[in-house]
Amino acid sequence: MKAEHINPFLRSTVETFKTMANLNVTPGKPYLLKESIHMDISGIIHISGDIIGILAMAYPLPTALNISSKFLGEEIRELNKSVTDCIGELSNIISGFAKKDMKTLHLSISLPKILRDQCPSVDMPKGAPVMCIPFDSEAGNFVMQICHLD
């Protein structure tokens, strides 16, 4: 995985949370995924074109509720359609801004897929390296997972 393919997602995540939810998020030390991470809700975007890969934004429930409350401007206390819509929209915005930063590449991004409750672990392709970047914020911690397939 190349830094020039990961850094746009990092910048986009920081900027998206600042702009859309008035949250400062701080990336932690990246690491390679060794075993699946259990999270309560994840927004997944497939990337195709000059780069093929998967972006997953994975959240524990308290973080997802806090972020959704900030994003929507109202207190959210349970995992509902508003939360899944919010997590999907944030994933979409993050990937869209990152794509804009990689103007020299021809890229397409999918609509977000949401995994929750019954399917909390993001299945990444076997044998493909998955870079994880933990983020910290006042709303709670979450993890970005990036899998580069080509």
Cα separation of 132 and 33, whole Å? Answer: 6
- Is the pLDDT at 71 greater than 50? The verdict is yes
pLDDT, tens digit, for every residue of 74-98?
A: 999 999 999 999 999 999 999 999 9
DSSP 55: E
pLDDT, tens digit, for every residue of 22-59?
A: 999 999 999 998 877 788 999 999 999 988 889 999 99
Cα separation of 32 and 4, whole Å? Answer: 17
Q: Which long-range contacts (CB under 8 A, 24 or more apart) does 62-70 make?
A: 62/140, 63/137, 63/139, 63/140, 63/141, 63/142, 64/40, 64/142, 66/139, 66/140, 67/17, 67/21, 67/23, 67/137, 67/139, 67/140, 67/142, 70/21, 70/22, 70/23, 70/139
- Is the pLDDT at 1 greater than 70? The verdict is no
The reported pLDDT for the residue numbered 130 is 87
Which backbone phi and psi does 122 adopt, to 5 degrees?
A: -75, 120
Residue 100 tokens read as 């804009």
The reported pLDDT for the residue numbered 52 is 87
In the chain, where are the structural domains located?
3-22+33-148
- Is the pLDDT at 17 greater than 50? The verdict is yes
- Is the pLDDT at 148 greater than 70? The verdict is yes
pLDDT, tens digit, for every residue of 105-129?
A: 899 999 999 988 755 456 666 667 8
The reported pLDDT for the residue numbered 120 is 47
Fold that domain 3-22+33-148 belongs to in CATH: Chemotaxis protein chec (3.40.1550)
